[in-house]
Structure 1
Amino acid sequence: MQASNRTARTAGILFLLTFVSAIAGAALYAPLLTDPNYLTGPGVDTRILLGAVCELVLIITNIGTAVVLFPVLRRYSETAAVGYLAARIVECTFIAVGILSVLTVVTLRQTAGADAAEYLPVARALVAVHGWTFLLGPGFVVGIGNGLLLGFLMYRSHLVPRPMALFGLIGGPLMSMSGIAVLFGAYGQSSVLSALATLPEIIWEASLGIYLVVVGFRRPRNTGTTEATLEQPHVLGKLANEHS
């Protein structure tokens, strides 16, 4: 099972890196996202550019989790595994659009000069675009991909404890529904209700990353199967059908 555990630990490290890069990016972006007059102020452009780099790392690690896990997860449901990979790509597309909107504000601040005040409405619109990309990507698509689909795959495969996978199965749809509620103005994205709806998904992703790094994949529950045999795809597929 050494190859499988290598895959598990690689995926776990990537999951933890998504947390670090997402939090760092949000913290570095804060001056631009919270100051409506950022364009006409002194600016902290280098900090914003570092935030963009963090979000590029986030894109790489996001897609990396799905690519690394795909050969394992497809043995339990190829449709769900492809769906998870596709959801990760869609999420990262939203993140990339958000990066472009923020970098455009930086470019406006650096080139507008004395006319910077005239471009304030444009800058604020670009910040609004970033807000929507965050809601629709990390705030909605993540609940479908990382939550529902990945939770289903981990629950079905027994690769992690089933109670842990339930956090994804329940937390993912809850997070996506909360995103829809925010979309229609039921409450704010930074409200207590939104935070509570997002919490199970955060617990799921964090616990999954830590579990995969520390423990790796659990063995399929078949005491008559050797470790060497478990590495064969057709045996893993058979075991998956037995557990489903």
Structure 2
Amino acid sequence: MTATARTETTPRPRPGSPRKVAMLAGALYLLTFLASIPAVFVLEPVLSDPGYIVGPGEDTRVLLGGLLDIVNALACVGTAVVLFPVVRRQSEALAIGFVASRVLEAAIIFVGVMSLLAVVTLRQDLGATGGADADSLVAVGAALVAVRDWSFLFGPGLAVANALLLGTLMYRSRLVPRAIPLMGLVGAPLLLASNTATMFGVNEQVSLLSLVALPGIFFWELSLGIYLVVKGFRPSPLTDGPDVGGSAPADLRTLAR
């Protein structure tokens, strides 16, 4: 058998095949972890030092942390865009809601990034040259860091909506083992309670309640990413038929309604 014949007889995954879609979605989920977790530690100087804006500063480190947060935000949107053609066959309304919540999450993360980059700009333009009153600069810097702190609460806090929307889609469709979305569906109310308590000053962002609420959401997204990369989607009518990037079959569109 010639090399040409072997090539022609070996089936190749289509560009929109379920396996490739699952791998890409899983990789993007894992990328959100690889970007967001280091960013918390890389940004520590500007977050913990009230006088950062008038001090020597570690601007390169802060810029790197901002870049990691941007990568995280873009990966968040990517997970929703890649999964949408598949999960919309289960429920188009829930799938659109999932995309919208991911886009909103990314937008809030960008707000936090821009606030910290503004601190760097002010430090370079005014703080380091003594061109403004130090106390005023410290107050402005503290305000910008506060914006980032709130964005950190509300941006990743939208994991509640993501878990409820995508978790419901995955649980009903059985595209992954039901234990995976169940972690998100159980963890979402706990995280919502923790974030609400933090918003009203009853709970700190890092507290016992937060530590109890976080694992469900954390392991839901982590296990989903790993499973999609390693195993892909489980056999389902949602992945049968034409490429998952195309139109849903008429009978599946009817079921989605």
Give TM-score scaled by structure 1 length.
0.90
Runs of 4+ residues over 4 Å off in structure 1: 226-232
The one of 63, 66, 82 aligned to 1:49? 63
Give the structure 1 partner of residue 8 of structure 2. Answer: none
Unaligned runs of 5+ in 1: none
Cα deviation, 1:122-179, whole Å, max 9, x if unaligned, reads 000100010001111112x12112x110100000110000111111111123212211
- Tell me whether 1:67 sits opposite 2:81 in the alignment: yes
Offset from partner CA, 1:73-129 (integer Å, 9 cap, x none)? 100000000000000011111101101100000011101121361310000010001
Equivalent in the alignment of 2:7? none
Question: What is the distance in 1 between the residues matched to 2:30 and 2:82?
Answer: 14
Paired with 1:203 and 1:186, the residues of 2 have a C-alpha distance of 26
CA distance in structure 2 between the aligned counterparts of 1:235 and 1:170, rounded to whole angstroms = 33
Map of 1:100-115 to 2, 5 A cutoff?
100-112=114-126, 113-114=129-130, 115=132
Q: CA RMSD in A?
A: 2.4
Q: Percent same amino acid at aligned positions?
A: 46
User: Which position in structure 2 is the counterpart of 1:38?
Assistant: 52
1:149-168 aligned at under 5 Å gives the runs: 149-168=165-184
Count of residues paired in the alignment: 237
Quick one: which amino acid aligns to residue 233 of structure 1?
A
Higher relative helix content: 1
Q: Are 1:28 and 1:51, in contact at CA under 8 Å, matched by a contact in 2?
A: yes
CA contact (8 A) 2:77 2:103 kept: yes
Whole-angstrom distance in 2 between the partners of 1:221 and 1:111: 59
Query: Which blocks of at least 5 consecutive residues in structure 2 are unaligned?
Result: 1-11
Change (3 A) 1:26 1:234: same
Shift, 1:237, TM fit: 2.0
Map 1:12-31 onto structure 2 (within 5 A): 12-31=26-45
Is it true that 1:182 corresponds to 2:187 in the alignment? no
Could you tell me which residue of structure 1 aligns to residue 6 of structure 2?
none
